[in-house]
Amino acid sequence: MGAPDIASTDTVTLATGCKVNLHLRLTGRRADGYHTLESLFVPLAAPGDRLTLTFGPQGGPFSLAAGDPALEGPGNTVARAWRAFGAATGFAPGLAVRLDKGVPMGAGLGGGSADAAAVLRALNERAGARALGEAALARLGAAVGADVPFFLGRGPAWAEGIGEALTPVDAPLAGLTLVLLCPEVHVSTAWAYAAWDAAHPEAASAPRPSGPQAHHSSLTWTKERFKSSPCSLPPLYNSFEEVVFPAHPILREYKEELLRSGACGAVMSGSGASLLGLFRDALRAGRCVRGFQAAAVRAFVHHF
């Protein structure tokens, strides 16, 4: 079956967001090198990237312009998403991508995964009879990056496996204000995992239970923690803090400053270096943001 005819003038501009982890517990390392985890993902609209996609005819070339040459290679998640979709469906239109970064790299916010998910969505919408169902598209996204399936969905989700096993949750965030800090600190995700492995040599030999029953128990455990935290949320926790904070002490200082500023909880997101604080008082959150911005720390505020 032939692919839909796409004019070379088919151009669309997409705004992508990011995610934060309110809870991230590494639970082990699989034989293939991937790490298993339990995490609560929450999407945010900002900071975000902007993608300008110009589609060409079937079989056309792919190009990526990003301003930073380090982002323009074949390993970029956007390039991998385009290749993976073509291989899975046979629909491989030419695609020229302009990527304007707004999500800091090395911040643990999943900006690259959000971009890949946006490209997969755009391709799927144009694939006609070759379009994938939601489940198949999520499986394809997981092959591109562990966080990609989350960005193909909507709303907060409890994640297990390598991050691809997602259960939508109604996280009780209404009325809270989130302050997100993006310091000028780069934390390599590969380094963070290697440092955690070195601190936990037993992780590879002691995998946690998996399967539907374990998934249900973990989700129940987390929902119970919603009721006991000062923010009516699960404990804001991140396994990576134990290895990232000693290497980057300024991040611990920023977390402590969030708490001194009135946050009822604060935590690093992903493998760092971004940090977040949850506030009950929006005015105190605003003062906190202005204080960090005055100190030249990039800060964002999100009202739930």
Active site residues: 19, 147
- Residue 232 tokens read as 């009516």
Answer whether 301's CB lies under 8 Å from 285's CB.
yes
Answer whether 230's CB lies under 8 Å from 221's CB.
no
Which of 111, 101, 109, 106 lies closest to 69 in space, CA to CA? 101
Which of 145, 150, 149, 167 lies closest to 158 in space, CA to CA? 167
Look up tokens 């792919």; give the residue.
62
- Residue 184 tokens read as 């000028």
- The whole-angstrom separation of Cα 67 and Cα 277 is 32
Question: What is the C-alpha end-to-end distance of the chain, expressed in Å?
Answer: 46
- The whole-angstrom separation of Cα 169 and Cα 22 is 13
- The whole-angstrom separation of Cα 167 and Cα 164 is 10
Task: Tell me the H-state helices in 98-206.
Answer: 111-126, 134-144, 148-152, 189-199
- Centre a 10 Å sphere on the Cβ of residue 290 and count the other Cβ atoms it contains: 12
